[in-house]
Structure 1
Amino acid sequence: MTSRFTRPLFNNIQRLPRTRPTTWSVATRGLRPSLGASFATARPRPQGRPQGDNVRIIKIPRLPLLMIGIGFACLGVGLYEYLTSDIQKYPPPIRQALRKALYYQQPGKDVNLSTRYFKEALELALQSDEMERDGAPLTGIMIQYGALLESLGRYPEARQVLTLALRHLVGFENDPHATEKKPDQAVFDLDLASFPPQTQRKIVGIAQKLGDIAQETKHDAEAEKWYTWSLEHLLRISSKPVSTYGDTDQVLFDKEHMPAWLTHTELGAALEALGTFYQTRQKHSLAVHLYLRTLTLAGLKTCQSSVIMNNLSESFAAMGQFDDAKLWAQRGLEIAQNPNTGKANKDGDVCDEACGVLLFNMGMLFEQTNDKEKAMIFYEQARNHGRKYKLLDCIRQADRAIRRLQFEQTQPPSLPSA
């Protein structure tokens, strides 16, 4: 199981809010009832009927009217939020295209229409004189559009859009009429610390996304460059000088020195991304180093830490260090099986999946070290766990391993060669 932190660096990039449908009501015309009024209405009296105590009064209960009044008030607030939302700041043609793009991006809608309207909105925004070239509204369209393309597996287009967003953020596109523009690779020579914190966050998030895309498209050198460049920046701004006397330029990472806009989870995600990249490229010693650093940030009592321990176990096993592999797998299993782990962070589903994978991997480790009896025990536990939590892949893998061991047990022992 090679899992990843949820990628908050990119998810926290400011995105365009979804629009609310326009709802007009009497509240917008100031006809809201007064909550302090006495709500009583007299029936009209017939002609000739004397006035007095026999007049029937219909009293309307206060609670329904109070709820109606609150409803009108909430409606007025919602309408105000809608009319003043960020999307209203766009020029009308761009705003209309964005509304359609966001509408069709919703589950169950036509996502292809969403990409079409995002493209239209981006083209209009690039042509508009009202949009700042490096401003959040313009780059926000690019980020949202690029993320959607990536989710659809349209990697070349996603790479193009996200690279354009990065160029705008760092100022490479500030002059649309420039005859000579800096190449994309020039971004690696920039000092990101000179940018505002939120811009740094967006740049790093996009770099991580570009690394993911390059990895998916088998451009390993490019993926490694994006991952290392963004991670090195995060580590650099989270480090402090080794000496307080200024006699050396060396710095040391200190998680207490991290900037306010960067969380442990975000830095851990960047470390784990590069570690997973190295693991899938058979560079296990590098992966182990990064996973261990990730673990110091994730802590030892989270479901995510059990996933990282599983990754450590896989890397040690790939290097033939089976004792270390078993040790990390067992530690991860203890965390994943503890019912309090998932409750603490409300990510019990991560623990459930990690537990199934770790049980199966423990069986694999014992099978590789010729302890078939223990291997069978862990395979059966993995299958039972998969059945309990409806983890179909876990069930299939465990079933296959159990049948393989059962088949081997029915075979006569091979005679030693003469």
Structure 2
Amino acid sequence: MKSTAPADHEPEHSSKQTGQTKPPSPSLKSMIWHGIKSDASRAWYVIRNTSFREVMRRNPGEAFGAIVAVAGAIAVFIYCVYAYYTYFYSRQFTRYPEPVAQALRKALYFSNHDPDPQRALKYYKQALELCDQEGLDHFSDDVMGIKIQVAAWLEKIESYHNAITVLENLLNDCKRWVEVMEKSAAEGTLPKLEPVPAAKEGEAGVPEQPREGWWAKRTRLLAKAVSISVKLANLYSDEHVLEREVAHERLVWAVETALKETQRRAKEGLKDGEGPWMSLEEIGGSLEALAYSYQEKSQYHLAVPLFFQALRLCQDPCHIALLMNNISTSFAEHPLIPPGDAPVHAMMEESKTWATAAEQRASYLAAAQRWAQNAIEHASQPQGDRRTSECDRACAVALSNLGSVLAMLGKNSEARAKYEQSIALSKKFGFDDYAAEAEARLRSLPEA
């Protein structure tokens, strides 16, 4: 079978065969810096060894170029100094004690600016050890933020299992803290929190500050645990890991925890100082992620109600269209289940009149057709700033899915028209994958 190499792949030349090594080409950055440095040096030499007035009289163009070169070099130098201090002395570092901040600066330098995984890991570990020495709370956002940054860096360098280990440990720590706190609260043994001590000697006049309450801390750590669990699900689903069952377990826990806490607050009210819980958009995102997980497991009957709940919480008109399309897909692939056994049957009046499996299947396909049409209508409505590329994607995919549903219903001519519309729209907006899939579905239709 003929294969085509990528366009940017260059063949190896005969230098390898002769044993000669081609010197590396200088980078664009080094070329620009070398040019500025050379021009600045030359300009300074001219200014230092020649009367400026004489140079201006004899060759004004060269004099002007010298001035520009010197000014450019100074501007670059000032910018580099500014960028260095803006980044390495920003709030993300100065909120830590100086020893911790210094270790973090080195860790991030060897993570992003001069990549060296061994040295970066060394300084990340050093930063966490110094947090212990400085007496920082292990469950503060600052300390947990370092651990999350380590996991993100490990993912970036494709050390996925190590990233998972870091996040799993953090998730378990958060879970244990919440469990112990809830047990103590139920037993009435939570210790009284004293306010943060007043300013140290020589800093008089700074008032005492209240500590974070137990229930406020519980809310923060529980929300953090939910977000970490969702992130772990993404990592476990990654093609380099592919542990989908574990990914599904993490998503189930995240969704159940988010909904359970929402219901507790609605039933019991807020505790003293508890603070707000996850936003509707965040909860909807967790529901949607779990629904996709059920789709991957071909458990479409479990995905449908989750997409419905996510749809109720969604405020973005373009994303609403995408959710409607996913509902359509789930109905189209919905397995035949005895009436009343699937969560979505309660929302379908047809479930009362199904007599045969064929009637049930026809009812699912009719629902799939309605939701695909709804998705197309909603994706077409937003205009101006409210319209995003997600609307265009939702419309293109919904047209293709509607064609598939119509084909399942035996309406091949209508299906062909929807496929053609999807192909045209996909090509218009550059969605090549969608166009290719719609074309494949079109070819699979029987000839009229």
CA-CA distance at 1:365 after TM superposition? 1.3
* CA distance in 1: counterparts of 2:398 and 2:111, whole angstroms: 36
Distance 1:331 1:131, change over 3 A: farther
- Other-structure match for 2:250: 226
* CA distance in 1: counterparts of 2:99 and 2:378, whole angstroms: 53
Residues 1:206 and 2:248 are matched in the alignment: no
- Other-structure match for 2:379: 336
* Superposition map of 1:231-246 within 5 A: 231-239=255-263
Greater CA deviation, 135-144 or 91-100? 91-100
Amino acid at match of 1:224: H
Greater CA deviation, 124-133 or 311-320? 124-133
Does the aligned pair in 2 maintain the 1:241–1:252 contact within 8 Å?
A: yes
* CA distance in 1: counterparts of 2:245 and 2:110, whole angstroms: 36
Indicate the SS of the match to 2:436.
Answer: helix
* CA distance in 1: counterparts of 2:162 and 2:282, whole angstroms: 26
- Other-structure match for 2:125: 123
Higher RCO structure (Cα 8 Å, ≥6 apart): 1
* CA distance in 1: counterparts of 2:320 and 2:118, whole angstroms: 40
Residues 1:146 and 2:170 are matched in the alignment: no
Does the aligned pair in 2 maintain the 1:94–1:121 contact within 8 Å?
A: no
Does the aligned pair in 2 maintain the 1:306–1:333 contact within 8 Å?
A: yes
Partner of residue 328 from structure 2, selected from 309, 313, 332: 313
Does the aligned pair in 1 maintain the 2:419–2:442 contact within 8 Å?
A: yes
Does the aligned pair in 2 maintain the 1:274–1:290 contact within 8 Å?
A: yes
Cα deviation, 1:269-303, whole Å, max 9, x if unaligned, reads 1111111111111111111111111111115x611
Partner of residue 286 from structure 2, selected from 270, 276, 285: 270
* CA distance in 1: counterparts of 2:174 and 2:423, whole angstroms: 49
CA-CA distance at 1:310 after TM superposition? 1.2
* CA distance in 2: counterparts of 1:311 and 1:264, whole angstroms: 19
CA-CA distance at 1:85 after TM superposition? 1.6
Distance 1:200 1:117, change over 3 A: farther
Residues 1:402 and 2:442 are matched in the alignment: yes
Indicate the SS of the match to 1:383.
Answer: helix
Does the aligned pair in 2 maintain the 1:333–1:359 contact within 8 Å?
A: yes
- Other-structure match for 2:312: 296
Distance 1:122 1:325, change over 3 A: same
Residues 1:95 and 2:135 are matched in the alignment: no
* CA distance in 2: counterparts of 1:388 and 1:104, whole angstroms: 43
Distance 1:400 1:263, change over 3 A: same
* CA distance in 1: counterparts of 2:110 and 2:411, whole angstroms: 55
Does the aligned pair in 2 maintain the 1:336–1:354 contact within 8 Å?
A: yes
Indicate the SS of the match to 2:134.
Answer: coil
Cα deviation, 1:146-199, whole Å, max 9, x if unaligned, reads 134345553311111112333454567xxxxxxxxxxxxxx8898599544332
Partner of residue 353 from structure 1, selected from 388, 393, 401: 393
- Other-structure match for 1:19: none
* CA distance in 2: counterparts of 1:252 and 1:294, whole angstroms: 24
Cα deviation, 1:363-404, whole Å, max 9, x if unaligned, reads 111122221111111111111101211111122222333344
* Superposition map of 1:107-118 within 5 A: 113=115, 116=118, 118=120
Does the aligned pair in 1 maintain the 2:181–2:218 contact within 8 Å?
A: no
- Other-structure match for 1:86: 92
Cα deviation, 1:214-246, whole Å, max 9, x if unaligned, reads 33444344333322222222212222689xxxx
- Other-structure match for 2:17: none
Residues 1:322 and 2:365 are matched in the alignment: yes
TM-score, normalised via structure 1 length: 0.62
Give the number of equivalent residue pairs. Answer: 301
Distance 1:196 1:240, change over 3 A: closer
- Other-structure match for 1:166: 171
* CA distance in 1: counterparts of 2:420 and 2:124, whole angstroms: 54
Distance 1:190 1:326, change over 3 A: farther
Distance 1:200 1:241, change over 3 A: closer
Indicate the SS of the match to 2:447.
Answer: helix
* CA distance in 2: counterparts of 1:295 and 1:282, whole angstroms: 20
Does the aligned pair in 2 maintain the 1:237–1:259 contact within 8 Å?
A: no
* CA distance in 1: counterparts of 2:389 and 2:116, whole angstroms: 31
TM-score, normalised via structure 2 length: 0.58
Amino acid at match of 2:410: N
Greater CA deviation, 121-130 or 322-331? 121-130
Greater CA deviation, 365-374 or 289-298? 365-374
Cα deviation, 1:316-360, whole Å, max 9, x if unaligned, reads 1112421111111111111111233x733x6x1111111111111
Indicate the SS of the match to 1:282.
Answer: coil
Indicate the SS of the match to 1:276.
Answer: helix
Amino acid at match of 1:235: L
Distance 1:140 1:84, change over 3 A: same
Distance 1:292 1:116, change over 3 A: farther
Amino acid at match of 1:377: A
CA-CA distance at 1:97 after TM superposition? 4.8
Greater CA deviation, 95-104 or 348-357? 95-104
Partner of residue 387 from structure 1, selected from 427, 437, 440: 427
Percent same amino acid at aligned positions?
Answer: 28
Gaps of 5+ in 2: 1-77, 184-213, 335-360
Amino acid at match of 1:391: F
Does the aligned pair in 2 maintain the 1:101–1:116 contact within 8 Å?
A: no
Distance 1:95 1:314, change over 3 A: same
CA-CA distance at 1:259 after TM superposition? 6.3
